[in-house]
Structure 1
Amino acid sequence: MGDEEPVVSLYKEKVSKLKQSAKRTLIIFIISSIFIVLIALISIMFGTKDISILTVWDSISQFDANNADHQIVRTGRIPRAMAVLLVGAFLAVAGAVMQGITRNYLASPSLMGVNDGSAFVITLAVVFFPGLPGYQMILLSMLGSAIGAALVFGFGSIIKNGLSPVRLAIIGTIIGTFLSSIASAIAMYFQVSQTVAAWYNTKVQSVDPDMLWLSIPFGVIGITLAIVSARAITITSLGEDVAAGLGQKTKAVRLLSMFSVVLLTGTAVALVGKIAFVGLVIPHVVRFLVGEDYRFIIPGSLVMGAFFLSLCDLVSRYLNYPFETPIGVVTTIIGVPFFLYLIRTRGGEKHA
């Protein structure tokens, strides 16, 4: 009977932690959702031309193609607001998944070559296959994500200690810079720099509504895969030996998880271009709030990533008003100090 007491105590403690994490995740969902609605409304109503909430409602319920305000709302502001929400969610979930399966606190699509691979392949598509339909651009962007990730992790695996957090981040930065440089050279040679620049400097201000609707199914599949894999990712994040001891098929989990990352990142880049640091910052903030269980980290990252990027978009519009600052500048201002903090505090560690 005495031997059973520590086991019961541990079980109760675990259940208590799970309940606490679930409660905190619910709070994150509620608070983030409220702020998302508020920021989306502000983004749609205010800009170079202010539009009343009644006009916004009329543009949705009784659209008049001859009304300039309705056109602004329907073809410009609503697609933009939706795009930053989706992309923020996609990149944050992709970052959370990458950090879990690699056990690397510095893992994110922007640091591990995933974003750069997407933008590189999109550049090739713009040059050699102009006028491709939206879904093909998304698929090619996903292919680029896979190529970028394969290059970074491939080089990391053949270099001594190349898979350590800091070295992998350095390899990712080098390969990302190399791909960006080659893409820029190709774009300049074929005189399509202006077109390609949209994917490198982000194009949230000119989101294609058709591309937006096409991106939703791909994103839903990627997020569903991440959520379904969440428990397995948690086990994988405990380490190779522990995962194997628990009967985890680590290779299958990593393949499925990386497919989710490729879907989410490729879709995000095809929709608005490269945006850095969302996938690095948000999973850490959520992990601090809800604990190490990816069943809570992934849903938390989903809503907090959407809130974070929509807030960054709003700040970018008013930082140098009436001129617009690229959203990537805002995420970088936040992300670089956070990145340096992580390197200083735990850069040489893999997360337990």
Structure 2
Amino acid sequence: MTTWHKWITIFVLLIICFASIIFAISIGAKNIPFITVWTSIFQYNSEDNLHQIIYEVRLPRVLGAVFVGAAFAVAGTVIQAITRNPLADIGILGVNGGAVLLVTICFAFYPAISYGWLTFFSFIGAALSTLLVFSIGIVARRNLSPLTFTIAGAVIAAFLHAISSGIAIYFDLNQELAFWYAGGVAGVTWGQLPLLITIVIVSIIIATLLGKQLTILSTGQEMASSLGINIKFLLFTSMGVIVLLGGVGVAVAGSISFVGLIIPHLSRKFVGHDYRWNIPVSALLGSTLVVIADLSARIIFAPKELALGILIAFIGVPFFLFVAKKLEGT
């Protein structure tokens, strides 16, 4: 595929993503015309009920879905690149588990904690679980074995979620933590968006700048080392990106798995294995997937809502089994 075709792909995906955003803002318990959506964003009238619905409820929710989807998708793309594991995802590798555990501890001992501190501890939890999984993987095989990471990640994720559940039961936090376990963007507020947007954009830029090195690393450590790639620096920086994206995603939307598993495969179908293109395409696809999934969760079971994480799992589990079966046959 030529560079020109890749730019066209990004442009088309950008239009599709933007269309899904407008559609998600317009559709709901009350359908709102596009012109009203436009005026509520650029000519907000606080006395207009429709403007209030859009500006105070739907717009922050949809923007949250956009950047959470991009965060989880790019994190999954980077993980698959450095582990060379097509089944890798922040949920499967335990990153979500560490973030949720620290959030659970915060609710147990500091119930009045601010969003800023909650995000900080979510980062800490994501970092600790990521370091633990990578340490196990490296010690076990002395290299980044895809099978080792899958097993280590699954074990660590199960262990961390078990501890989180135990703490939640002991401190009677099930209702407070139901959101983080199920995952969703219904509670996103304008106060959460500046930090989310900043971290996601900066992380995606860093990951894209690392794209060429990630492409080489995805072919094998020996090849990357022979071409002069600083493996330790690349892994450290990539893990930092994963922690930032996973931590802020969990802090805003809870534990949503499979976005980072599904999207990298679709991205490679569109633009190949060059991560300089893969990462921005993954961001657009991840945003579109989560926006559409959140809209579906709102309208399919209206007036009640299905948890976003559950809806994506309905897609992700069969996809995981399909990829696993495909790998088994190779």
Among 309, 318, 324, the alignment partner of 2:305 is 324
Q: Deviations over 1:83-138 (max 9, x none)?
A: 11111111111111111111111111111001111111111112222333322222
Is residue 338 of structure 1 aligned with residue 304 of structure 2?
Answer: no
Tell me the CA shift for residue 21 of structure 1.
4.7
Q: Which residue of 2 aligns with 1:309?
A: 290
Among 98, 117, 127, the alignment partner of 2:98 is 117
Identity of counterpart residues, as a percentage? 37
**Cα 1:71–1:336, aligned 2, differ >3 Å: closer, same or farther?**
same
Residues 90 and 246 of structure 2 are in contact (CA less than 8 Å); yes or no, is this contact kept in structure 1? yes
Q: Which residue of 2 aligns with 1:176?
A: 157
Q: Deviations over 1:236-285 (max 9, x none)?
A: 11211111111111011000011011111111111111111110111111
Greater Rg by CA: 1
Q: Which residue of 1 aligns with 2:19?
A: 38
Among 118, 126, 135, the alignment partner of 1:154 is 135
**Cα 1:307–1:181, aligned 2, differ >3 Å: closer, same or farther?**
same
**Cα 1:191–1:54, aligned 2, differ >3 Å: closer, same or farther?**
same
Among 82, 86, 93, the alignment partner of 1:105 is 86
Q: Which residue of 2 aligns with 1:237?
A: 218
Q: Which residue of 2 aligns with 1:76?
A: 57
Residues 29 and 299 of structure 2 are in contact (CA less than 8 Å); yes or no, is this contact kept in structure 1? no
Among 166, 183, 186, the alignment partner of 1:202 is 183
Q: Which residue of 2 aligns with 1:96?
A: 77
**Cα 1:62–1:295, aligned 2, differ >3 Å: closer, same or farther?**
closer
Query: Aligned partners of 1:86 and 1:286: how far apart in 2?
Result: 17
Q: Which residue of 1 aligns with 2:114?
A: 133
Unaligned ranges ≥5, structure 1: 1-19
Q: Which residue of 2 aligns with 1:249?
A: 230
| One-letter code aligned to 1:71 | Q
Query: Aligned partners of 2:151 and 2:322: how far apart in 1?
Result: 16
Query: Aligned partners of 1:244 and 1:162: how far apart in 2?
Result: 13
Tell me the CA shift for residue 57 of structure 1.
2.9
Query: Aligned partners of 1:232 and 1:31: how far apart in 2?
Result: 26
CA RMSD, 1 decimal: 2.1
Residues 140 and 148 of structure 2 are in contact (CA less than 8 Å); yes or no, is this contact kept in structure 1? no
| One-letter code aligned to 1:331 | I
How many residue pairs align between the two structures? 330
**SS of equivalent residue, structure 1 residue 76:** helix
Q: Which residue of 2 aligns with 1:52?
A: 33
**SS of equivalent residue, structure 2 residue 313:** helix
**Cα 1:61–1:295, aligned 2, differ >3 Å: closer, same or farther?**
closer
Residues 32 and 304 of structure 1 are in contact (CA less than 8 Å); yes or no, is this contact kept in structure 2? yes
Query: Aligned partners of 1:217 and 1:134: how far apart in 2?
Result: 15
Tell me the CA shift for residue 155 of structure 1.
2.8
Does 332-341 or 160-169 show the bigger shift?
Answer: 160-169
Query: Aligned partners of 2:8 and 2:138: how far apart in 1?
Result: 40
Query: Aligned partners of 2:223 and 2:148: how far apart in 1?
Result: 24
**Cα 1:25–1:133, aligned 2, differ >3 Å: closer, same or farther?**
farther
Residues 137 and 149 of structure 2 are in contact (CA less than 8 Å); yes or no, is this contact kept in structure 1? yes
Q: Which residue of 2 aligns with 1:3?
A: none
